Each structure stands twice: as structure tokens, then as C-alpha cells.
């Protein structure tokens, strides 16, 4: 493999690895733009991954699995909204409770239903989202650089990868170009002004957390039915928290958050390819050190290398309607 092919292989892996991060970051953007802190992205992704894999194993339908994952994500998001919006509970505690619940419940249900140590059965190709070739791959293959880039990097992903790209554009369009987006940003900055204008703060925030749950559900379904072929315990491996870090790194804006996710994905892809490789002077890097690189980067970025990140003013603050 020449250097260019190797570089394209890393970019191809970057897109695949960063897909759940992108979807989860867009999910968190909707919730936090409305003023609801959501650290439960990890739990929603994990529960959706289990639900999608379980349904795919039983029915053999990848699309039914995706729909189930979305429903589970929305259900947990509404639980979070019920605790934080209706009852004005602590948003961090509610999110943490959902994460703990998902971590334990997925293993218990997995053992009870499939008796495979908390895992689901391996999925066949019919029950998964398989790679698809985009049109014109053969037609442009003879064009230097562009043909290889299109064939090796852009084409050959499953439909959920392309859906994540559309999710970024859709999020930008909804947040900055629609009336709902304008109200969403307003309720995250000054819910009293939104209430004074005659709009329901609670309804807007419930809509936001429901969209958040749907996108987190897609991210979870991607993990178990597209990137992998089954559910294994704790398979999210902190990606929900990394997505939150990317969201903060992107200062709660879609495109910068996308770039942050791609950066995390690129580092993860490079780390995978470095396993077992002997580097000059350093020698063979331990696998554990390579696997820790994305998390180390997360800590470094959040420690102050991203500059001033101003969150929506009302985020984390329950709104109590004045009477």
C-alpha cells in the first residue's frame, strides 16, 4: 500500500469512527441549546444500541432495529425531560442516573434474553447496515487523486454514515434558518422572554430533548448494527462524553462540533493503525497508551486549549414560570 492509499484508508476509518460522535454531538446541541444539560447521551446511546441489536437479532430487520433504537432514545430523553423540565430536578443528576440505569439494565436484559453474558447474538448481513457504493465510482476511478478519493473515502460507507452528514446540515438549518430554531436558541438564552412572548418554554424544551433522543438513538443503533455486528456490554466506551466534549469544543455550533468529532475520529483511526507498529526512537507504543489517546486529548482540550466557550446562558437552570 502506497502512502496515498494509506492516508485515504485513515480518512475512510475517520468517517466511520466519528459517525456516532457526530450524531451524539448534534443530539446534545439540540438539548443544550434549549437550556437542558444532557450528560445522558452515553446512556441513551448504550440503551439504543442494545435495543437495536436485540430487535435485529430477533427480526432480522436492520430498519426495524433502527426504529427501535430511536424509540428507546426518545423514551429515555422524555424521562430526562420529565425530571428536569416538569419537576425541575437537577439535570446532571438525572443524566447520570440514566447512564447508570442503561449500563446495568442492558447487561441484565442481555443475560436474561440471550444468555450470552450480556451480549446479543452475532448479526447476519441482512440484519445490519452494510456498505453501499455510490454512483459513478467506476466512471471517475480513472481520474487521478479525485477518483481514488471518491472511491476509497467518500463511497463504500453504510447509509447511517451518510445520514450523519445530513444530520449536521439539518441541525444547522433547523437551528439557524427556522422559526423553531430561533425559539430554541431564545429559550436557551432567556426563557423568561420566550414565556413573555406567549410561547411555552416546557413544550420547546420537550421538543428539543425528543430530537436529542432520536439522534442519540441513531448513534446507538449505528454502533451495534453498522459499525459492529452485535451488542457487547459498555460498547459506547465513553463516546457520549467525548461527543459532549466535542460540542463544547465547537462552542455549541454544528459545523465546529462536526470538525471536533472528525478530529477525535481521526486520532482514533490513527491510534488503531499504530497498534503493533514500531516507531523510530519511541519503539512499539503500548496498546493501552494508544487507546487512551482520545480521552487524553479530551482532557487537554477541555483544560483550556479551546479558548473561552460560552454556553447558552440558561443551560442547566430550571425554569419556574412566574405566577
44 vs 10: which has the higher pLDDT: 44
Rounded to 5 degrees, what are φ and ψ at 182?
-60, -45
Residue 123, classified by CB atoms within 10 Å of its CB into exposed (0-12), middle (13-18) or buried (19+), is buried
Helix, strand, coil shares of the chain as percentages rounded to 5?
70, 0, 30
User: 0.95 cut: is pTM over it?
Assistant: no
Structure confidence by residue, pLDDT tens digits, 51-82: 999 999 999 999 999 999 999 999 999 999 99
At residue 104, the pLDDT reads 93
Residue 323 has pLDDT above 60, yes or no: no
Q: Rounded to a whole number, what is the largest CA-CA distance in the chain?
A: 70
Structure confidence by residue, pLDDT tens digits, 135-162: 887 788 788 888 888 888 888 899 999 9
At residue 138, the pLDDT reads 78
At residue 318, the pLDDT reads 85
Structure confidence by residue, pLDDT tens digits, 175-214: 999 999 999 999 999 999 998 888 999 999 999 999 999 9
Amino acid at each position: 500500500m502506497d502512502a496515498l492509499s494509506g492516508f485515504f484508508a485513515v480518512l475512510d476509518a475517520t468517517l466511520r469512527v466519528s459517525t456516532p460522535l457526530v450524531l451524539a454531538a448534534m443530539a446534545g446541541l439540540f438539548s443544550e441549546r434549549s437550556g437542558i444539560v444532557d450528560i445522558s447521551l452515553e446512556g441513551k446511546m448504550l440503551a439504543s444500541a442494545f435495543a437495536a441489536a436485540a430487535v435485529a437479532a430477533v427480526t432480522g430487520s436492520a430498519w426495524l432495529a433502527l426504529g427501535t433504537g430511536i424509540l428507546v432514545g426518545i423514551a429515555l430523553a422524555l424521562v430526562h425531560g420529565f425530571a428536569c423540565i416538569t419537576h425541575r430536578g437537577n439535570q446532571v443528576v438525572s443524566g447520570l442516573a440514566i447512564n447508570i440505569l442503561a449500563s446495568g439494565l442492558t447487561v441484565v436484559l442481555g443475560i436474561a434474553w440471550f444468555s450470552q453474558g450480556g451480549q446479543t447474538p452475532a448479526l447476519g448481513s441482512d440484519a445490519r447496515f452494510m456498505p453501499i457504493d455510490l454512483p459513478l465510482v467506476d466512471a471517475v476511478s480513472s481520474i487521478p487523486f479525485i477518483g481514488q478519493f471518491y472511491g476509497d473515502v467518500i463511497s463504500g460507507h453504510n447509509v447511517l454514515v451518510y445520514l450523519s452528514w445530513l444530520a449536521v446540515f439539518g441541525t444547522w438549518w433547523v437551528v439557524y434558518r427556522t422559526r423553531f430554531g430561533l425559539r430554541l436558541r431564545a429559550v436557551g438564552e432567556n426563557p423568561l422572554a420566550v414565556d413573555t412572548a406567549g410561547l411555552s418554554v416546557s413544550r420547546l424544551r420537550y421538543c428539543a430533548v425528543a430530537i436529542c433522543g432520536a439522534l442519540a438513538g441513531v448513534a446507538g443503533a449505528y454502533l451495534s448494527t453498522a459499525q459492529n455486528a452485535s451488542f457487547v456490554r459498555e460498547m459506547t466506551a465513553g463516546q457520549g462524553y467525548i461527543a459532549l466534549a466535542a460540542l463544547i469544543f465547537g462552542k455549541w455550533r454544528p459545523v465546529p462540533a462536526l470538525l471536533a468529532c472528525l478530529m477525535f475520529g481521526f486520532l482514533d483511526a490513527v491510534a488503531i493503525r499504530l497498534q503493533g507498529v514500531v516507531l523510530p526512537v519511541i519503539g512499539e507504543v503500548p496498546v493501552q497508551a494508544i487507546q487512551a489517546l482520545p480521552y487524553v486529548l479530551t482532557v487537554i482540550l477541555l483544560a483550556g486549549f479551546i479558548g473561552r466557550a460560552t454556553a447558552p446562558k440558561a443551560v442547566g437552570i430550571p425554569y419556574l414560570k412566574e405566577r
